[in-house]
Structure 1
């Protein structure tokens, strides 16, 4: 676990290596993921079937999320990152080979997505737990703000670059996804600092008992319960609306580069928000940031539903995402800061279900809503449901009680 003797963030070699690998993984994965609905629609010719492919492909992450957390707390995290990134990289490379041979089918696409998402179920909690080992607690908020900026750059690049590469060849974005995973494997191999606590003690506990302990810990923290329930719905609804927009643009013949610019608008908003995230987390209570950010998202969704035009999407998405980095950085930093070192992997994997479930349910929900009521009806439905969830979150007292980073020490003592 990082302590006062750990170097500052940008002088920390282990942190820089992990960040470099994560940037490559995130950018490559974003470019590959951008191409998935386009290739799926090209293969099937049906927006609902394209959504089903994406949902089936992401099911691996949900099925393995809980046991993955136990593994991350019992096995050397550096080796987990290396192995998971290597497996995902090889899977994406295999998809490129099949695509170049002209035999790409829906089964191939779903299978590779399934393998990649399964590897991601190990990668994500391992990456989060590794930060706890190399970053000081007082710099965790800054590290998470940097992570939001990293994801923003990935979103900014993924759309236009993915659209350009897709125009060059349908499987070219998948090649970039493979290279990104392999870079992540290489940078993790160079990290010398231990990324786990006492592995002997962790391995002495039966895996099933360890899993139950992790579930009890997460459910025993009120804020974590809210993350598992209401914030799961936030992710499902927001991502479902994005899937509906993307599939509608695909079926109406919008150029891939223009579809990529929708992701670029999201990326620009997140980049602008990431520049402010560190300062906001230090100066505004995280609980307040939660409700503020959700209110902005709700307003933007209503604008998209009312306009349901390409340029309306671009403007609303840009504004929508400006508060998201501060919200995410504050909540994830709080989660990592108050969770004991030996519980990091299990907590990260359990709480990661909020995003993983969205990757499975959202493509189905977005495709079904679009096919049933069209883009305008789908966006209004998502907006109404999001409004209900936002009001529910605003009524939860534990969310409002999350303060500034210098108050988190009292919360650490309270949950242990």
Structure 2
């Protein structure tokens, strides 16, 4: 691929050597991660047949994020992020190895699975804020940051296409334990890639205070600035009300669509396919301008996709609905991530991204637990329909506040050179009058 296509195309962030290594390592590991997630859900449902226990697994794998992510954000702002990630991924590898041993040796009971799910959730709670703030260090050209975030999401969802399909085949033919073994081995790719990176040392912090003081400072900064606050609240609300659809997919695969592990894998792959399309679309965008409107549309598409999936008893329609939901969910998350990474101050990046992790993953366990309980009472269809309705409400509130959010973000974009200041019909950057209709067009695309 030529240099010019890299500089202006979908893969322009790969100009940075460290980011290339990151993509290579993460790409392999994420396939294993998705394989383990699918195998874990199917194992729990096979052993118990309980939608509620699926919700419990979802809860235990994500609840540590709510408690630990803020501390991880402080550590990400204090210490070497690469070293932290290498330690973290080593612990994740051992967790997968023990889970595989338990399943293959035949002593995997539901209490042990819940405990190991809680352990993995704790590891993930440390990993995500550190990794998200670390991406900025890997990109040599600041203008490639949005593209790097979108490509990172593309990588996650590319793995989401491969992992569930492979897991469905392996679970049906060899059992869940093989998936856990492969996931454990895949962590070696990340560890090797991190070790091969050349990272410039970060400047030492002039002062270092207690964790609680730094958390308070980060919280005041994030929630005192309305654009960051609005984004975090929207992501938290959608994660609480809409994202729990994932934990109920095994129920739809078996009870509604009358399938097995293969069907479950296909449904997860469909959601991943839609998400991959969404991330490729975001990667093709030149900058962050206009992402506010895209966020609103993404939430609407997500809600409609969930509602259609809830109502469908026909596999092709269910696959299409999950593809729509996957497109909407990842477009929402990646767009919000891109805006935050663009506008926040560097010395608070780790803490703000920890709050983003809390919003995205910290609220989901409560949604998973609630969805599992509600599904046993009113059924899986009504559970998803109620969640979709609340997501539409969230989109409406964010859309109403969007003009105020744009007004606050605009000076930051101007200062960074992302957009040109427009005053009294003049293009200030070039010192020329705007052509007829040009001012309206530029304002409309903010």
TM-score normalised per structure 1:
0.89
State whether residues 243 and 362 of structure 1, in contact with CA within 8 Å, keep that contact through their aligned partners in structure 2. Answer: no
Match of 2:151 among 141, 146, 153: 146
Q: 1:115 to 1:386 in 2, by over 3 A?
A: same
User: In 2, distance between residues paired with 1:177 and 1:63?
Assistant: 26
8 Å CA contact 1:286–1:404 kept in 2: the answer is: no
**1: CA distance between counterparts of 2:68 and 2:166?**
31
The answer to whether the 8 A contact 2:275-2:331 is kept is no
Q: Relative to structure 1, is the Cα distance of residues 280 and 33 closer, same or farther in structure 2, using a 3 angstrom cutoff?
A: same
Tell me, yes or no, if structure 1 residue 127 matches structure 2 residue 134: no
Q: Distance in 2 between matches of 1:90 and 1:297?
A: 35
Distance change (3 Å), C-alpha of 1:106 and 1:403: farther
How much has 1:310 moved relative to structure 2?
3.1
- Are 2:199 and 1:193 aligned? yes
**Structure 2 counterpart of 1:258:** 263
Which range is displaced more, 309-318 or 137-146?
309-318
Residue in 1 aligned with 2:333? 328
Alpha-carbon distance in 1 for matches of 2:336, 2:63: 25
Using a 3 Å threshold, how does the CA distance of structure 1 residues 59 and 302 change in structure 2: closer, same or farther?
A: closer
In 1, Cα distance between equivalents of 2:225 and 2:25: 31
Partner SS state of residue 19, structure 2: helix
Residue 145 of structure 2 is aligned to residue 155 of structure 1: no
| Per-residue Cα deviation, 1:113-148 (whole angstroms, up to 9, x for no partner) | 222221212221221211212313211111112112
User: Is 1:373 the counterpart of 2:378 in the alignment?
Assistant: yes
- Report SS of the residue matched to 1:201: coil
* Residues in 2 aligned to 1:285 and 1:371: alpha-carbon distance in whole angstroms: 41
Deviations 1:183-208 (A, max 9, x none): 212211221213x6334436x32222
Distance apart, 1:247 and its partner CA: 2.5
Once the two structures are overlaid, the 10-residue window that deviates more, 403-412 or 101-110, is 403-412
Give unpaired runs (5+ residues) of structure 2: 1-11, 420-446
Once the two structures are superposed, residues 55-98 of structure 1 have per-residue CA deviations (whole angstroms, 9 ceiling, x without a partner) of 12332222211111111111211110000000011011011111
Which of 214, 222, 225 in structure 1 is aligned with 2:226? 222
The farther-off stretch of 353-362 and 215-224 is 353-362
In structure 2, C-alpha distance between the alignment counterparts of 1:91 and 1:369, rounded to whole Å: 31
- Structure 1, unmatched stretches of 5+, are 1-7
TM-superposed deviation, 1:288: 1.1
Consecutive aligned runs of 4 or more in structure 1 exceeding 6 Å deviation: none
The answer to whether the Cα contact below 8 Å between 1:55 and 1:364 also exists between their aligned partners in 2 is yes
Q: Does 1:409 align with 2:409?
A: no
Larger Rg over CA atoms? 2
Distance in 1, matches of 2:275 and 2:329, equals 7
Q: Following the alignment from structure 1 to structure 2, what is the Cα–Cα distance between the partners of residues 363 and 146?
A: 28
- State the Cα deviation string for residues 333-385 of structure 1 (Å, max 9, x = none): 22112222221211111111112224412321221222111232222212222
**Alignment partner of 1:18 is 2:22:** yes
Residue of structure 1 aligned with 2:85, choices 76, 81, 90: 81
Residue 312 to residue 301, structure 1, CA distance change in 2 (3 Å): same
Map 1:199-210; keep pairs closer than 5 Å.
Answer: 199-201=204-206, 204-210=208-214
Q: Which residue of 1 aligns with 2:216?
A: 212
- Bigger Cα displacement from structure 2, 258-267 vs 10-19: 10-19
Give me the whole-angstrom Cα distance separating, in 2, the residues matched to 1:126 and 1:99: 31
Moved more, 393-402 or 96-105: 393-402
The count of aligned residue pairs is 403
Tell me how far apart the structure 1 counterparts of residues 334 and 381 of structure 2 sit (CA, whole Å): 32
Find the aligned partners of 1:382 and 1:17 in 2 and give their Cα distance.
Answer: 39
Tell me if 1:316 matches 2:321.
Answer: yes
Query: Who is 1:231 aligned against?
Result: 235
Q: Does the 8 A contact of 2:45 with 2:51 survive in 1?
A: yes
Q: Is the 8 A contact 1:149 1:325 kept in 2?
A: no
Distance 1:320 1:363 in 2: 17
Q: Is the 8 A contact 1:281 1:329 kept in 2?
A: no
Point out the more displaced range, 321-330 or 86-95.
321-330
- Which residue is 2:273 aligned to? 268
After TM superposition, give the deviation of residue 228 of structure 1 in Å.
2.6
Specify whether residues 284 and 227 from structure 1 end up closer, same or farther in structure 2 by C-alpha distance, changes over 3 A only.
closer
Taking a change above 3 Å as real, the CA distance of residues 53 and 328 of structure 1, as seen in their structure-2 partners, is closer
The Cα shift of 1:281 comes to 5.6
